[in-house]
A and B are shown apart, each in its own frame.
Chain A
Amino acid sequence: MKPVLGIAGYVLREAMSRKFILAFMVGITLVLTVVALSLRIEVVDGALAASRLFGEEIRSSIRSVDVALRPVYQAAAFLVFYGGILFGIVACSDFAPSLMSPGRIEHLLALPIQRWHLLAGTFLGVMVLALGGTLYGTTGLVLIFGVKAGYWTAGPLIAGLLACVGFAAVYAVMLTAATLVRSAALCAASGFVFLVGGIIAGYRQQMTPFFEEGFGREAFRAVTLVLPRLSALAVAAGDIAASTPLEVRSLGLLLLGVLVFGFGALAVGFWRFEGKDY
């Protein structure tokens, strides 16, 4: 496990030195700071009576603060989920190709580590990065609304964690794509394709009737059966963030399924990486 942690540290250190990632962290901080400084919330007996942003009153209803904040948290959960995965795809697309670049991969492969350690470490490093960014953003949001509205909930944090699991599945595919072709663009493209596929898979039940009965429908059902059901996870993240009842039958199983899909994709990457010459 030590080599995996070592590679994860290597990737994290590399990531932290990237302007793109730093700009993202600064961006989150700025947004949170601006929201914290410019948002004024008046709460009367647990009801959100009035809110002002940059001194301008926001026309909103007076209702229980948790109910009033539901759309905010739900929107934040969707933003974190889809926005986070999209940003992750773009920002992390060249980690693996860069690690596998000539002059670097030979050096790493000559070190006393197993090949799969290298991929697993990269995966772990990126996941730590994603988790850190997500927790930073969502904790900030929870703190701001908690302090200002007196309403404390771990919903957005849990929603952020769900987003990380969704990203884990997407990034595992990207990592595997990098072992096939060392290209950041293709890596990102594979991430996008699986993100879209994952959104479709989550709505497979609703979309199946659009396919004609027969081979087309069965093929659609078969493909979407295996794909990670990202949109279902996103909806669950939104529900949790807004503290509304879940639509899925078992979030635990769904979450585990998406994670196991990620590990499956990673195992394909290990298979390919073990047999690749550099």
Chain B
Amino acid sequence: MTSQEPAIEVRGLRKTYHRAFRKGGNEALRGMDLTVPEGSAFGLIGPNGAGKTTFIKSILGIVQPTEGSIRVLGGSPEDPRIRARIGYLPERLHLPGTWTAPAFLATVTRLKGLPVDPAGNLRLLERVGLSDAVGRRIGGYSKGMRQRLGLAAALVGTPSLLVLDEPTDGIDPMGRMEVRRILQDEVQRGTTLFLNSHLLAETERVCDRVAILAGGRVVREGRLEDLARGGVRWLVRFAPGANTEALVTAGFVRGVAEGQYVVEAEDPAALNGALDRARAAGALMVELRRDGTDLESVLMGTVEAAA
């Protein structure tokens, strides 16, 4: 999707927490620059204490920056009109235990300045998989159900920007799939998704862009496939009984595991040529994958390098 103005644009963002009766302060963000294109699914990853939560709070106006500029959806996050277009799910959302989900959503709707739409809110609850728990008090919800309700609250008013802090925390695998589907639907609808999750696999599956935050700075940022690209090496596994010599002659190098080989190919044509040669030698391919790095390896590598 082309974008005229980024959904989030942060320049030179610094945040120092000062404590009373203490000199200096704790620098959470140290001159952070980041641009989140409109309509993208953006993941923010980084180790604990990197400043991820401070950053999210900064772009929502919950934390006031010490220095730098923040523009969200073309305006300041201090402007309620801008915040009206943001859906936010905090990391540990505290929900009123004695309320029911529809009552909570009605209050959120009202506070968002929207007309209360009970039917719309019920549809939202159905969408996050809480239709069976509509009449129950929130206090009786499981952690996963609370997260779903938090997601529903974030989705109230079909926001242009969704800022989700650990949205699948506590949700079971089936639920995660559902949540992922909802988020993908939202992105498809044109919503910008800004995701902070410890579950890197989740980020990998949902986001198309990722930024790695370490020590209060963005140390790496870009398209996920670019960050995770492993180069020209491919891992191939052949069925037992393949002729090793013929495969080595065809350009394959024997790998660590039984039947596993590595081949280097610059492009798809070279890869298929090598595979044709192997097949001609009677080898039957059972698995093929790029010998790349996953997000975890990227994160570890980047953070270690930054340190």
B96 adjacent to A109 (CB under 8 Å): no
A181-218, CB under 8 A of B: which get 1 and which 0? 00000000000000000000000000000000000000
Given known A-B contacts A106-B60, A277-B17, A6 and B90 have beta carbons under 8 A apart: no
A112-B84 contact, Cβ under 8 Å, with A10-B107, A278-B62:
yes
Stretch of A37-45, A54-62, A96-104 lying at the B interface: A96-104
Most buried by B among A7, A106, A114, A275: A106
Q: Determine which residue in B60, B62, B83, B84 has the highest number of CB atoms from chain A within 10 A of its CB, and name it.
A: B62
A103–B62 touching, CB < 8 Å:
no
Proximity bits, B78-97, A CB within 8 Å = 1, else 0: 00110110101011111010
Most central of A2, A6, A107, A114 by chain B CB within 10 Å? A107
Interface residues of B in 47-106 (CB under 8 A from A): 57, 60-64, 80-81, 83-84, 86, 88, 90-94, 96, 98-99, 103
When distances are taken between beta carbons in the complex, the residues of chain B under 8 Å from A278 are: 57, 62-63
Using Cβ atoms and an 8 Å threshold, which residues of chain B touch A110?
60-62, 83, 86, 88, 90, 163
Choose, from B108-116, B184-192, B290-298, the stretch at the interface: B108-116
**In the complex, A75 has a CB within 8 A of chain B:** no
Please state if A102 and B17 are interface contacts (CB–CB under 8 Å).
no
| Contact between chains at A13 and B62 (CB < 8 Å) | no
Q: List the B residue with the shortest CB-CB distance to A104.
A: B94
B146-180 with Cβ < 8 A to chain A: 153, 163
Question: B232 to nearest A CB, angstroms?
Answer: 45
Residue of B nearest to A99 (CB): B94
Answer yes or no: A257 CB below 8 A from chain B CBs: no
Q: How far is the CA of A258 from the CA of B254 in the complex (A)?
A: 87
CB neighbours of B92 from chain A (8 A): 102-103
- Please give, as numbers and ranges, the residues of chain A lying within 8 Å of B60 by CB-CB distance: 106, 109-110
Q: A253 on the interface (CB 8 Å rule)?
A: no
Known contacts A103-B90, A106-B90, A111-B83; A7 and B57 CB within 8 A of each other: no
Indicate which residue in B80, B88, B113 contacts A107 across the interface (CB closer than 8 Å).
Answer: B88
Cα A113 to Cα B82 in complex, Å, equals 11
Best-surrounded residue of A3, A14, A102, A110 (most CB of chain B within 10 A): A110
Cα separation A190 to B61 with both chains bound (whole Å): 29
A17 at the interface (CB under 8 A from B): yes
- Once bound together, how far apart are the Cα atoms of A127 and B63, in whole Å? 29
Partner of B94, one of A3, A102, A111: A102
Least Cβ–Cβ distance between B132 and chain A, in angstroms: 22
**Nearest-CB residue, chain B, relative to A275:** B64
Q: Please, which residue of chain B has its CB at the minimum distance from the CB of A17? A: B98
Distance of B286 from chain A, by nearest CB (Å): 49
How many pairs of A and B residues are in contact by the CB < 8 Å rule?
Answer: 76
Complex-state Cα separation, A205 to B74, whole angstroms: 59
Is B108's CB under 8 angstroms from A111's CB? yes
Residues of A within 8 A of B107 (CB): 6, 9-10, 13
In the complex, the answer to whether A107 meets B93 with C-beta atoms within 8 Å is yes
A21: shortest Cβ distance to chain B, in Å? Answer: 12
Q: Which residue of B lies closest to A101 (CB)?
A: B94
Closest to A121 in B: B111
Pick from A13, A103, A108, A114: contact of B80, CB under 8 Å: A114
Chain A neighbourhood of B112, CB < 8 A? 111-112
B19 to chain A, nearest CB (A): 12
A104 to B107, CA, bound (A): 13
Chain A, residue nearest B84 (CB)? A112
Q: Which of A62-113 contact B (CB under 8 A)?
A: 101-113
Residues from chain A with a CB closer than 8 A to the CB of B17 are 277
Do residues A106 and B80 form an inter-chain contact, with CB atoms below 8 A? no
Q: Which residues of A contact B93 (CB under 8 A)?
A: 103-104, 107
0/1 per residue, B214-255, Cβ < 8 Å to A?
A: 000000000000000000000000000000000000000000
Shortest Cβ distance from B28 into A: residue:
A277
Q: Select from chain B the residue with minimum beta-carbon distance to A2.
A: B113
Interface centre among A6, A113, A277 (most CB of B within 10 A): A277
B84 proximity list for chain A (CB < 8 A): 112
Compute how far the CA of A17 lies from the CA of B153 in the bound complex, rounded to whole angstroms: 21
Q: Separation in Å of the B213 CB from the closest CB of chain A?
A: 18
> Which chain B residues lie closer than 8 Å to A107 at the CB level?
88, 90, 93-94, 153
Question: Closest residue to B92 on the A side, CB-wise?
Answer: A103
Residues of A within 8 A of B86 (CB): 110
Q: Once the chains bind, are A13 and B111 in contact (CB under 8 Å)?
A: no
Is A106 a contact of B99 with CB atoms below 8 Å?
no
For the complex, give the distance between the alpha carbons of A20 and B145 in Å. 28
Q: Is there an interface contact between A277 and B62, defined as CB atoms closer than 8 Å? A: yes
Given contacts A103-B90, A109-B61, A277-B63, contact A6 B110 (CB under 8 A): yes
Can you give 28 contacting A-B residue pairs, CB < 8 Å? A2-B113, A3-B111, A6-B110, A6-B111, A7-B111, A9-B110, A10-B111, A13-B96, A14-B98, A17-B98, A103-B91, A103-B93, A103-B94, A104-B93, A106-B57, A108-B111, A110-B60, A110-B61, A110-B83, A110-B86, A111-B111, A111-B112, A112-B111, A112-B112, A114-B80, A275-B64, A277-B64, A278-B63
Residues of A in contact with B (beta carbons under 8 Å apart): 2-3, 6-7, 9-10, 13-14, 17, 101-114, 275, 277-278
Known: A9-B110, A10-B111, A106-B60. 5 other contacts (CB 8 A): A106-B62, A110-B61, A112-B112, A275-B64, A277-B64
